[in-house]
Structure 1
């Protein structure tokens, strides 16, 4: 019986054509990649409010997940804050699955087949990413070099490396962990047909036309070969893949109409229109955070009134490094020997929780996950300040801002709310259950770091919620299984690592 090709075999075949020397390493990395993705999926099965899960129970040798159709899943105990590949198989009744795509297919839940295909892509792309890593060549020196150390992607998302729509050649050419130099196209558009905010630079103008930086994948697949022969801007891709660092220049956020991890990476017209206002607002809030927070300014933004053709130019976070200091994305901390220091983790937790709660008190909930949040390390490796970038997903409370005499800017309606649950979910879900948990790597390490952080802070309602209530985290698998144009962010409630702790 002929079996259809899997994502793993498709990648192997493409790799044999474009980089045959990597095939053996790719094959060797597949078991570890399956385990890494299966571990993320098992976390979701153990903790997310999935409608087809009836209950969970701990047993002597692990965890049982009971499905509503009567079947049972068996796997190891699932620490919701543990990272890495610690699950090698999950048993569904009498069948064992080492392949997350195979397990998802066997569950036969609504919209599960599409998600299973994405899990297959995630495994194959992760194995490819690991296979192509060069030998370590010393500590990173430039901002993009830190970002390109993040090989495994999102520490908790099963689709951590899912890149459907990208060929193997395109992954090698554009993905940050492969460390390419990417040539951004410059697509000319009459200025009269564009919305521009901030200062659009002279080098990206040609008479009465704007030259909009475009990712080459977007140019080939969406804009159909735009500016094929034009002068290109050499840049280095960052963690988000669609944002790239220009040496000696800005970071360029491009539209990328492909689904990566969870989202299609275009840039809305509304976000371009609000970019300058948001940038100035972010700076004003950061100025009230005791010198511990910087916001990367938006220098200019432009769109041809289309989410498929737009770009944002931002300061490099390196702008906020003093002599001998390093600016490191939080997601990259876990890739460096720095993260193995309990003192560094505790210091980072104290700094991040203090700043996050201060901004929340002022009326701004930061989406401070490991990609948006960066930490400035002193020459001795101590966390001293934070840098935050990409303000598009803030949540802003007019009532809290008013209490502190801060004017409410004109912002997109989706960003404005006084709902305390929404505000706390945004901050705690990204910072604590995301950036801090991903850096800590286990619930025990996260608890120790948080204990040190909250002990020094004044009591507030937000701090009490962080100490005492279940910890919110985005229900990433539930959201991927939702119908198109579903309810948006959905949440899991994780065990609070501080519960019962004396702080």
Structure 2
């Protein structure tokens, strides 16, 4: 069996120094972590338009991929919507591989070596994340950030589901939400006159000394140490959420989430906060308030500020918890797979019906949400029934002026990437995130997703977008192709078999 021990051994060595008692559990979790990442990679190899795969042949025993150099890669029949780690080994010209990093290395494709290193880090970090779950409470949390920290495996379909290059083991333990730390944020004082500020900024994050006062921009400790190269002042204690760079504040700001700049590559891209998104935040937030109804709430952006740098910026948002009534729970959709939910037949169909009703209604109106398992949250009753949705982080939605005008909705003063009338782009944004992402990740398999959609679809409003969803292949981001195409900016896409056809 071909295996690359580099990243796994590095993490083991660091873990021996940082938390030696965790080493045996880490080692025990490695085989499962390899299978989890290999399963995600196999999905990409089976369905993405990778230029060095010339043909795909399905047989009784599985799938064979014919490579441009004449080699043959074989594995099980793929389920593009499966979340279980069902791929434990693949064969490259008769040689067995259970390690995705070694497989990518030996494939020898353009830009494959950096990606292989990321896969190795993803395996090692995933094993580390799973190792830290012994003794974790499984009862339903009473706070919003408790739900976020239940998501251990990261992105359900990205091979880099837990890749955190640039983070030491000690830093992963200190900042990773699945390790349930309390993070002491740092603050950097910036004169108000030198900031781009939209919305309101709380007094708790202001320094009134000096001329005109200064904003205290919350900074993630990793960013302060590795990018800004300065310690900064002591900031509020906070609980990291699914995205790691967004945290739930404590104390007098306990109903506030802060999105910090974190210039590290997590899964696909380097994370920062663009000056553009700060400038658009207040307008988007005001516009989003008009979209709220009985089935959907959109968290308000309270304030956003940048010191004219994507490396020093922060966005303050309402906690989704404010939209949960007495006895109700609000959780990211990505956490549903970690939670014991009502076992009655039809629960998944009810949730699917709710999500599609909201998503398609807004799309028809002219707003395409990026409703993946992190941005989209669901409010559950005390007994676990899906009641309504909450959406957060408006930075990557798409707004169609033409569709809004057709419905008589005033067009907000927006510009840049969020504005498009391109029908394909609008549908990709919603279908790729909501159906191929959030709903598929919750269903866990193509068969379960198909059954839920079949039960939900008859109750949906008949629109052209629904017709496209039912009859065309399902778009999703080609996440591996994007990582292997460093010279191609922006998203790249592939199409998955329609679960209803």
TM tier, smaller: over 0.9
Match of 1:420 among 402, 414, 423: 423
In 1: Cα distance, 2:351 partner to 2:135 partner: 28
Deviations 1:269-296 (A, max 9, x none): 1111110100011111224xxx111000
Q: Is the 8 A contact 2:262 2:271 kept in 1?
A: yes
Match of 1:495 among 475, 494, 497: 497
In 2: Cα distance, 1:329 partner to 1:423 partner: 23
Cα gap change, 1:341 to 1:179, in 2 (>3 Å): farther
Cα gap change, 1:497 to 1:281, in 2 (>3 Å): same
Cα gap change, 1:400 to 1:135, in 2 (>3 Å): same
Partner of 2:92: 92
Q: Is the 8 A contact 2:8 2:123 kept in 1?
A: yes
Deviation at 1:343, TM superposition (A): 2.5
Match of 2:264 among 245, 258, 267: 258
Q: Is the 8 A contact 1:297 1:315 kept in 2?
A: yes
Matches within 5 A, 1:197-208: 197-207=198-208, 208=213
Deviations 1:358-391 (A, max 9, x none): 0001100000000000001112211111000000
Deviation at 1:226, TM superposition (A): 3.1
In 2: Cα distance, 1:110 partner to 1:203 partner: 50
Matches within 5 A, 1:270-285: 270-285=276-291
1:312 aligns with 2:294: no
Partner of 2:228: 223
Q: Is the 8 A contact 1:302 1:312 kept in 2?
A: yes
Match of 2:325 among 322, 330, 340: 322
Partner of 1:176: 177
Partner of 1:239: 242
Deviation at 1:5, TM superposition (A): 6.3
Partner of 2:471: 468
1:214 aligns with 2:215: no
In 2: Cα distance, 1:231 partner to 1:384 partner: 40
Deviations 1:13-44 (A, max 9, x none): 00001100011100000000000000000000
In 1: Cα distance, 2:149 partner to 2:189 partner: 30
Partner of 1:142: 143
What TM-score, normalized by structure 2, do the two folds share? 0.96
Q: Is the 8 A contact 2:342 2:383 kept in 1?
A: no
RMSD: 1.3
Q: Please state whether the residue corresponding to 1:91 is helix, strand or coil.
A: strand
Q: Please state whether the residue corresponding to 1:449 is helix, strand or coil.
A: helix
Q: Is the 8 A contact 2:7 2:120 kept in 1?
A: yes
Cα gap change, 1:442 to 1:342, in 2 (>3 Å): farther
Deviation at 1:452, TM superposition (A): 1.4
Partner of 2:445: 442
What TM-score, normalized by structure 1, do the two folds share? 0.96
Partner of 1:40: 40
In 1: Cα distance, 2:79 partner to 2:327 partner: 37
In 1: Cα distance, 2:5 partner to 2:471 partner: 49
Matches within 5 A, 1:29-428: 29-137=29-137, 138-207=139-208, 208-227=213-232, 230-247=233-250, 248-287=254-293, 291-338=294-341, 342-428=345-431
Deviation at 1:341, TM superposition (A): 5.1
Q: Is the 8 A contact 1:285 1:362 kept in 2?
A: no
Cα gap change, 1:149 to 1:4, in 2 (>3 Å): closer
* Runs of at least 5 residues in structure 2 that lack an aligned partner in the other structure: none
In 2: Cα distance, 1:461 partner to 1:413 partner: 26
Cα gap change, 1:31 to 1:174, in 2 (>3 Å): same
In 2: Cα distance, 1:104 partner to 1:350 partner: 39
In 1: Cα distance, 2:346 partner to 2:326 partner: 22
Deviation at 1:198, TM superposition (A): 0.4
In 2: Cα distance, 1:39 partner to 1:55 partner: 20
Deviation at 1:84, TM superposition (A): 2.1
Deviations 1:328-377 (A, max 9, x none): 11000001111765422111100000000000011000000000000011
Deviation at 1:109, TM superposition (A): 0.6
Deviation at 1:51, TM superposition (A): 0.9
Aligned residues: 491
Runs (4+) of structure 1 exceeding 3 A deviation are 339-342
Q: Please state whether the residue corresponding to 2:162 is helix, strand or coil.
A: coil
Deviations 1:181-205 (A, max 9, x none): 0011011111111111001011111
Q: Please state whether the residue corresponding to 1:332 is helix, strand or coil.
A: helix
Q: Is the 8 A contact 1:84 1:155 kept in 2?
A: no
Q: Please state whether the residue corresponding to 1:392 is helix, strand or coil.
A: helix
Deviation at 1:417, TM superposition (A): 1.1
Q: Larger deviation: 402-411 or 21-30?
A: 402-411
In 1: Cα distance, 2:154 partner to 2:415 partner: 29
Q: Please state whether the residue corresponding to 1:338 is helix, strand or coil.
A: coil
* Runs of at least 5 residues in structure 1 that lack an aligned partner in the other structure: none
